[in-house]
Structure 1
Protein backbone atom coordinates (compact mmCIF):
# COMPACT_ATOMS: atom_id res chain seq x y z
CA UNK A 1 0.00 0.00 0.00
CA UNK A 2 1.25 3.46 -0.92
CA UNK A 3 0.39 6.77 0.74
CA UNK A 4 -0.67 9.06 -2.10
CA UNK A 5 -0.59 12.55 -0.60
CA UNK A 6 0.63 14.77 2.19
CA UNK A 7 3.80 14.56 4.27
CA UNK A 8 4.33 10.82 3.66
CA UNK A 9 3.44 10.94 -0.04
CA UNK A 10 4.95 8.00 -1.94
CA UNK A 11 5.77 5.96 1.21
CA UNK A 12 5.11 2.28 0.69
CA UNK A 13 3.81 0.33 3.68
CA UNK A 14 3.31 -3.39 4.09
CA UNK A 15 0.16 -5.15 5.20
CA UNK A 16 -0.49 -8.84 5.82
CA UNK A 17 -2.55 -11.17 3.68
CA UNK A 18 -5.71 -11.33 5.78
CA UNK A 19 -9.04 -12.71 4.55
CA UNK A 20 -11.40 -9.86 3.60
CA UNK A 21 -8.69 -7.18 3.76
CA UNK A 22 -8.68 -5.06 0.61
CA UNK A 23 -7.14 -1.61 0.85
CA UNK A 24 -9.12 1.23 -0.66
CA UNK A 25 -7.61 1.74 -4.11
CA UNK A 26 -5.48 4.74 -5.05
CA UNK A 27 -8.07 6.28 -7.37
CA UNK A 28 -10.88 6.03 -4.83
CA UNK A 29 -8.59 7.39 -2.08
CA UNK A 30 -7.49 10.30 -4.27
CA UNK A 31 -11.13 11.22 -4.96
CA UNK A 32 -12.11 10.83 -1.30
CA UNK A 33 -9.29 13.03 -0.02
CA UNK A 34 -10.03 15.65 -2.68
CA UNK A 35 -13.57 15.72 -1.28
CA UNK A 36 -12.20 15.96 2.29
CA UNK A 37 -9.48 18.54 1.54
CA UNK A 38 -11.32 21.50 3.13
CA UNK A 39 -12.10 19.51 6.29
CA UNK A 40 -9.22 17.10 7.02
CA UNK A 41 -6.63 19.47 8.54
CA UNK A 42 -6.80 19.13 12.33
CA UNK A 43 -9.76 16.70 12.19
CA UNK A 44 -10.19 13.85 14.67
CA UNK A 45 -10.58 10.73 12.50
CA UNK A 46 -11.90 7.27 13.26
CA UNK A 47 -10.88 4.50 10.84
CA UNK A 48 -13.19 1.56 11.53
CA UNK A 49 -12.19 -1.83 10.08
CA UNK A 50 -8.77 -0.23 9.44
CA UNK A 51 -7.20 -3.26 7.72
CA UNK A 52 -4.19 -1.84 5.88
CA UNK A 53 -4.69 1.59 7.44
CA UNK A 54 -5.03 3.16 3.98
CA UNK A 55 -7.66 5.67 5.08
CA UNK A 56 -6.52 6.52 8.61
CA UNK A 57 -2.84 6.82 7.66
CA UNK A 58 -3.67 8.85 4.55
CA UNK A 59 -5.69 11.22 6.76
CA UNK A 60 -2.70 11.67 9.09
CA UNK A 61 -0.39 12.26 6.14
CA UNK A 62 -2.72 15.04 4.97
CA UNK A 63 -2.82 16.86 8.30
CA UNK A 64 -5.52 15.22 10.42
CA UNK A 65 -5.08 16.10 14.08
CA UNK A 66 -5.60 12.51 15.23
CA UNK A 67 -6.54 9.17 13.75
CA UNK A 68 -7.80 6.18 15.73
CA UNK A 69 -7.45 2.92 13.79
CA UNK A 70 -9.71 0.04 14.85
CA UNK A 71 -8.79 -3.45 13.60
CA UNK A 72 -9.80 -6.81 15.07
CA UNK A 73 -7.33 -9.08 13.20
CA UNK A 74 -4.19 -9.48 15.32
CA UNK A 75 -1.81 -9.75 12.32
CA UNK A 76 -3.25 -6.68 10.63
CA UNK A 77 -3.21 -4.76 13.95
CA UNK A 78 0.45 -5.68 14.54
CA UNK A 79 1.35 -4.37 11.06
CA UNK A 80 -0.64 -1.17 11.67
CA UNK A 81 1.24 -0.65 14.94
CA UNK A 82 4.55 -1.17 13.10
CA UNK A 83 3.51 1.27 10.33
CA UNK A 84 2.52 3.93 12.89
CA UNK A 85 5.94 3.52 14.52
CA UNK A 86 7.78 3.57 11.17
CA UNK A 87 6.05 6.83 10.22
CA UNK A 88 6.57 8.24 13.74
CA UNK A 89 2.85 9.01 13.66
CA UNK A 90 2.40 10.08 17.28
CA UNK A 91 -1.05 11.44 16.50
CA UNK A 92 -2.17 7.97 15.35
CA UNK A 93 -3.38 5.28 17.73
CA UNK A 94 -4.68 1.75 17.39
CA UNK A 95 -7.27 -0.37 19.13
CA UNK A 96 -7.10 -4.12 18.42
CA UNK A 97 -10.83 -4.84 18.76
CA UNK A 98 -13.97 -5.66 16.81
CA UNK A 99 -15.22 -2.32 15.42
CA UNK A 100 -18.94 -3.06 15.76
CA UNK A 101 -18.57 -4.30 19.35
CA UNK A 102 -16.57 -1.18 20.21
CA UNK A 103 -19.17 1.10 18.60
CA UNK A 104 -22.04 -0.58 20.43
CA UNK A 105 -20.33 0.13 23.77
CA UNK A 106 -20.71 3.85 23.10
CA UNK A 107 -18.18 6.67 23.32
CA UNK A 108 -17.69 8.97 26.30
CA UNK A 109 -14.51 10.61 24.92
CA UNK A 110 -14.33 13.47 22.42
CA UNK A 111 -16.43 12.62 19.35
CA UNK A 112 -14.92 12.31 15.87
CA UNK A 113 -15.04 14.80 12.99
CA UNK A 114 -14.40 12.28 10.18
CA UNK A 115 -15.28 8.58 10.26
CA UNK A 116 -14.24 6.01 7.67
CA UNK A 117 -16.56 2.97 7.36
CA UNK A 118 -15.16 0.27 5.08
CA UNK A 119 -15.97 -3.17 6.57
CA UNK A 120 -15.34 -6.46 4.80
CA UNK A 121 -18.18 -6.51 2.29
CA UNK A 122 -19.22 -10.12 3.00
CA UNK A 123 -20.12 -9.22 6.62
CA UNK A 124 -22.87 -6.75 5.60
CA UNK A 125 -22.33 -4.53 8.66
CA UNK A 126 -23.23 -1.12 7.19
CA UNK A 127 -26.62 -0.66 8.87
CA UNK A 128 -25.44 -1.80 12.30
CA UNK A 129 -22.40 0.51 12.06
CA UNK A 130 -24.43 3.53 10.90
CA UNK A 131 -26.93 3.01 13.74
CA UNK A 132 -24.20 2.61 16.39
CA UNK A 133 -22.30 5.68 15.15
CA UNK A 134 -25.39 7.87 15.36
CA UNK A 135 -26.63 6.68 18.76
CA UNK A 136 -23.33 5.99 20.56
CA UNK A 137 -21.80 9.45 20.92
CA UNK A 138 -19.11 8.80 18.29
CA UNK A 139 -19.92 11.69 15.95
CA UNK A 140 -19.23 15.40 16.34
CA UNK A 141 -22.25 17.60 15.63
CA UNK A 142 -21.17 18.22 12.04
CA UNK A 143 -19.24 15.01 11.44
CA UNK A 144 -18.39 13.67 8.00
CA UNK A 145 -18.94 9.96 7.41
CA UNK A 146 -17.37 8.07 4.51
CA UNK A 147 -18.98 4.74 3.60
CA UNK A 148 -17.47 2.28 1.13
CA UNK A 149 -19.69 -0.63 0.16
CA UNK A 150 -20.59 -3.04 -2.58
CA UNK A 151 -22.71 -1.54 -5.34
CA UNK A 152 -25.71 -3.64 -4.27
CA UNK A 153 -25.33 -3.06 -0.50
CA UNK A 154 -28.34 -1.47 1.16
CA UNK A 155 -28.37 0.67 4.29
CA UNK A 156 -30.42 3.60 5.56
CA UNK A 157 -28.76 6.68 7.05
CA UNK A 158 -30.42 8.84 9.73
CA UNK A 159 -32.50 11.78 8.49
CA UNK A 160 -29.90 14.27 9.79
CA UNK A 161 -27.23 12.87 7.42
CA UNK A 162 -27.10 14.42 3.96
CA UNK A 163 -25.38 12.86 0.99
CA UNK A 164 -22.57 15.19 -0.07
CA UNK A 165 -20.80 13.09 -2.72
CA UNK A 166 -21.47 9.70 -4.29
CA UNK A 167 -19.40 7.76 -6.81
CA UNK A 168 -18.90 4.22 -8.10
CA UNK A 169 -15.87 2.31 -9.31
CA UNK A 170 -16.51 -1.17 -10.64
CA UNK A 171 -18.51 -3.04 -7.99
CA UNK A 172 -17.64 -0.50 -5.27
CA UNK A 173 -19.88 2.36 -4.22
CA UNK A 174 -18.46 5.14 -2.08
CA UNK A 175 -20.35 7.96 -0.43
CA UNK A 176 -19.59 10.94 1.75
CA UNK A 177 -22.28 12.09 4.19
CA UNK A 178 -22.44 15.29 6.22
CA UNK A 179 -24.15 14.99 9.57
CA UNK A 180 -26.22 17.83 10.95
CA UNK A 181 -26.77 17.81 14.68
CA UNK A 182 -30.29 16.55 15.39
CA UNK A 183 -32.53 19.42 16.48
Structure 2
Protein backbone atom coordinates (compact mmCIF):
# COMPACT_ATOMS: atom_id res chain seq x y z
CA UNK A 1 0.00 0.00 0.00
CA UNK A 2 1.37 3.38 -1.00
CA UNK A 3 0.51 7.01 -1.62
CA UNK A 4 -0.32 7.23 -5.32
CA UNK A 5 0.12 10.90 -6.15
CA UNK A 6 0.97 14.33 -4.79
CA UNK A 7 3.63 15.55 -2.38
CA UNK A 8 4.03 12.16 -0.65
CA UNK A 9 3.85 10.13 -3.86
CA UNK A 10 5.38 6.68 -3.52
CA UNK A 11 5.49 6.69 0.29
CA UNK A 12 4.72 3.23 1.65
CA UNK A 13 1.98 3.07 4.24
CA UNK A 14 1.60 0.56 7.05
CA UNK A 15 -1.63 -1.35 7.52
CA UNK A 16 -2.96 -2.56 10.88
CA UNK A 17 -2.33 -6.26 11.48
CA UNK A 18 -5.08 -8.85 11.45
CA UNK A 19 -8.39 -9.29 9.69
CA UNK A 20 -10.23 -6.37 11.30
CA UNK A 21 -9.23 -3.90 8.58
CA UNK A 22 -9.38 -4.16 4.81
CA UNK A 23 -7.27 -1.44 3.19
CA UNK A 24 -8.67 0.01 -0.03
CA UNK A 25 -6.73 -1.56 -2.91
CA UNK A 26 -4.36 0.80 -4.73
CA UNK A 27 -6.18 0.32 -8.05
CA UNK A 28 -9.52 1.28 -6.46
CA UNK A 29 -7.91 4.23 -4.68
CA UNK A 30 -6.35 5.43 -7.93
CA UNK A 31 -9.67 5.19 -9.79
CA UNK A 32 -11.48 7.00 -6.97
CA UNK A 33 -9.00 9.86 -6.77
CA UNK A 34 -9.07 10.29 -10.54
CA UNK A 35 -12.80 10.96 -10.14
CA UNK A 36 -12.23 13.35 -7.21
CA UNK A 37 -9.26 15.10 -8.82
CA UNK A 38 -10.70 18.62 -8.97
CA UNK A 39 -12.32 18.52 -5.52
CA UNK A 40 -9.39 17.69 -3.21
CA UNK A 41 -7.35 20.90 -3.23
CA UNK A 42 -7.86 22.86 0.04
CA UNK A 43 -10.65 20.48 1.09
CA UNK A 44 -11.57 19.46 4.62
CA UNK A 45 -11.62 15.66 4.85
CA UNK A 46 -13.23 13.28 7.34
CA UNK A 47 -11.93 9.69 7.17
CA UNK A 48 -14.39 7.50 9.10
CA UNK A 49 -13.43 3.91 9.97
CA UNK A 50 -9.98 5.14 8.91
CA UNK A 51 -7.98 1.91 9.35
CA UNK A 52 -4.53 2.84 8.04
CA UNK A 53 -5.59 6.40 7.18
CA UNK A 54 -4.73 5.79 3.53
CA UNK A 55 -7.69 7.71 2.06
CA UNK A 56 -7.18 10.78 4.23
CA UNK A 57 -3.42 10.70 3.67
CA UNK A 58 -3.88 10.41 -0.10
CA UNK A 59 -6.13 13.48 0.12
CA UNK A 60 -3.51 15.42 2.09
CA UNK A 61 -0.85 14.41 -0.41
CA UNK A 62 -3.03 15.84 -3.18
CA UNK A 63 -3.49 19.18 -1.44
CA UNK A 64 -6.34 18.82 1.06
CA UNK A 65 -6.16 21.49 3.79
CA UNK A 66 -6.89 19.19 6.73
CA UNK A 67 -8.06 15.69 7.60
CA UNK A 68 -9.75 14.16 10.62
CA UNK A 69 -9.16 10.43 11.10
CA UNK A 70 -11.61 8.39 13.20
CA UNK A 71 -11.19 4.78 14.28
CA UNK A 72 -12.03 2.85 17.44
CA UNK A 73 -9.08 0.41 17.17
CA UNK A 74 -5.98 1.52 19.07
CA UNK A 75 -3.87 -0.45 16.60
CA UNK A 76 -5.41 1.52 13.72
CA UNK A 77 -4.85 4.79 15.58
CA UNK A 78 -1.18 3.94 16.14
CA UNK A 79 -0.83 2.95 12.47
CA UNK A 80 -2.43 6.23 11.36
CA UNK A 81 0.00 8.18 13.57
CA UNK A 82 2.97 6.28 12.10
CA UNK A 83 1.72 6.87 8.54
CA UNK A 84 1.14 10.58 9.18
CA UNK A 85 4.62 10.99 10.66
CA UNK A 86 6.16 9.07 7.76
CA UNK A 87 4.39 11.28 5.20
CA UNK A 88 4.95 14.51 7.22
CA UNK A 89 1.24 15.37 7.48
CA UNK A 90 0.82 15.28 11.26
CA UNK A 91 0.37 19.08 11.36
CA UNK A 92 -2.65 18.85 9.01
CA UNK A 93 -4.36 16.01 10.86
CA UNK A 94 -6.61 15.41 13.84
CA UNK A 95 -6.89 11.86 15.15
CA UNK A 96 -9.97 10.70 17.01
CA UNK A 97 -9.76 7.38 18.86
CA UNK A 98 -13.45 6.60 19.08
CA UNK A 99 -16.32 4.72 17.49
CA UNK A 100 -17.15 6.45 14.19
CA UNK A 101 -20.91 6.58 14.73
CA UNK A 102 -20.54 7.89 18.29
CA UNK A 103 -18.03 10.48 17.08
CA UNK A 104 -20.49 11.93 14.58
CA UNK A 105 -22.92 12.58 17.43
CA UNK A 106 -20.29 13.65 19.97
CA UNK A 107 -18.61 16.21 17.74
CA UNK A 108 -21.84 17.75 16.45
CA UNK A 109 -21.08 21.48 16.24
CA UNK A 110 -17.39 21.08 17.10
CA UNK A 111 -16.39 20.01 13.61
CA UNK A 112 -16.94 22.43 10.76
CA UNK A 113 -18.77 20.77 7.88
CA UNK A 114 -16.41 18.83 5.63
CA UNK A 115 -15.96 18.95 1.87
CA UNK A 116 -15.46 15.18 1.57
CA UNK A 117 -16.20 12.29 3.92
CA UNK A 118 -14.79 8.82 3.33
CA UNK A 119 -16.83 6.04 4.94
CA UNK A 120 -15.13 2.65 4.68
CA UNK A 121 -16.44 0.34 7.42
CA UNK A 122 -16.41 -3.46 7.42
CA UNK A 123 -18.86 -4.69 4.80
CA UNK A 124 -22.34 -6.10 5.50
CA UNK A 125 -22.61 -4.72 9.05
CA UNK A 126 -24.96 -1.81 8.31
CA UNK A 127 -22.47 0.78 9.60
CA UNK A 128 -22.23 2.72 6.34
CA UNK A 129 -26.02 3.14 6.26
CA UNK A 130 -26.04 4.32 9.88
CA UNK A 131 -23.16 6.74 9.21
CA UNK A 132 -24.94 8.17 6.15
CA UNK A 133 -28.08 8.86 8.20
CA UNK A 134 -26.09 10.51 11.01
CA UNK A 135 -24.04 12.63 8.58
CA UNK A 136 -27.33 13.82 7.11
CA UNK A 137 -28.90 14.48 10.52
CA UNK A 138 -25.90 16.35 11.95
CA UNK A 139 -25.06 18.12 8.64
CA UNK A 140 -21.38 17.12 8.63
CA UNK A 141 -20.99 17.95 4.92
CA UNK A 142 -20.97 21.34 3.24
CA UNK A 143 -23.57 21.99 0.58
CA UNK A 144 -22.54 19.92 -2.46
CA UNK A 145 -19.99 18.08 -0.32
CA UNK A 146 -19.27 14.46 -1.17
CA UNK A 147 -19.75 11.24 0.76
CA UNK A 148 -17.62 8.39 -0.55
CA UNK A 149 -19.09 5.10 0.68
CA UNK A 150 -17.09 1.91 0.22
CA UNK A 151 -19.43 -1.04 0.71
CA UNK A 152 -19.82 -4.66 -0.33
CA UNK A 153 -20.53 -5.20 -4.03
CA UNK A 154 -24.01 -6.52 -3.23
CA UNK A 155 -24.92 -3.84 -0.66
CA UNK A 156 -27.33 -0.96 -1.23
CA UNK A 157 -27.68 2.22 0.80
CA UNK A 158 -31.06 3.88 1.29
CA UNK A 159 -30.91 7.67 0.84
CA UNK A 160 -34.68 8.21 0.86
CA UNK A 161 -35.63 11.09 3.17
CA UNK A 162 -32.02 12.35 3.23
CA UNK A 163 -30.29 15.20 1.45
CA UNK A 164 -28.01 12.82 -0.48
CA UNK A 165 -28.08 12.30 -4.24
CA UNK A 166 -26.20 9.36 -5.74
CA UNK A 167 -23.75 10.69 -8.34
CA UNK A 168 -21.93 7.51 -9.23
CA UNK A 169 -21.76 3.83 -8.28
CA UNK A 170 -19.11 1.40 -9.46
CA UNK A 171 -18.37 -2.20 -8.56
CA UNK A 172 -14.72 -3.29 -8.40
CA UNK A 173 -14.14 -7.01 -8.70
CA UNK A 174 -16.42 -9.37 -6.79
CA UNK A 175 -16.38 -7.68 -3.40
CA UNK A 176 -16.26 -3.86 -3.47
CA UNK A 177 -18.62 -1.09 -4.52
CA UNK A 178 -17.87 2.65 -4.33
CA UNK A 179 -20.87 4.98 -4.15
CA UNK A 180 -20.33 8.73 -4.45
CA UNK A 181 -23.09 10.91 -3.02
CA UNK A 182 -23.53 14.66 -3.17
CA UNK A 183 -25.02 16.37 -0.11
CA UNK A 184 -27.59 19.04 -0.91
CA UNK A 185 -27.85 20.98 2.36
CA UNK A 186 -30.87 22.91 1.10
CA UNK A 187 -32.70 19.66 0.31
CA UNK A 188 -32.87 20.18 -3.48
CA UNK A 189 -32.12 17.36 -5.86
CA UNK A 190 -29.76 17.67 -8.83
CA UNK A 191 -32.69 18.06 -11.23
CA UNK A 192 -34.23 21.04 -9.43
Q: Same fold (TM over 0.5)?
A: yes
Tell me what 2:190 maps to. none
- Equivalent pairs counted in the alignment come to 183
RMSD: 1.4
Runs of 4+ aligned structure 1 residues displaced above 3 Å come to none
The answer to whether residue 64 in structure 2 is matched with residue 64 in structure 1 is: yes
1:129 to 116, 128, 131: 131
The answer to whether residue 99 in structure 2 is matched with residue 98 in structure 1 is: yes
Matches of residues 155-174 of structure 1 in structure 2 within 5 Å?
155-157=157-159, 158-170=161-173, 171-174=175-178
SS in 2 for 1:163: strand
Tell me what 1:13 maps to. 13
Q: 5+ residue gaps in structure 1?
A: none
| CA-to-aligned-CA distance 1:62-119 (integer Å, 9 cap, x gap) | 1001111101100110111122122221112211111011113352131111000110
The answer to whether residue 181 in structure 2 is matched with residue 180 in structure 1 is: no
TM-score in terms of structure 1 length: 0.94
Q: 5+ residue gaps in structure 2?
A: 188-192
Matches of residues 27-176 of structure 1 in structure 2 within 5 Å?
27-89=27-89, 90-108=91-109, 109-157=111-159, 158-170=161-173, 171-176=175-180
Displacement of 1:146 after TM fit? 0.3
Displacement of 1:54 after TM fit? 1.3
TM-score in terms of structure 2 length: 0.90
Tell me what 2:25 maps to. 25
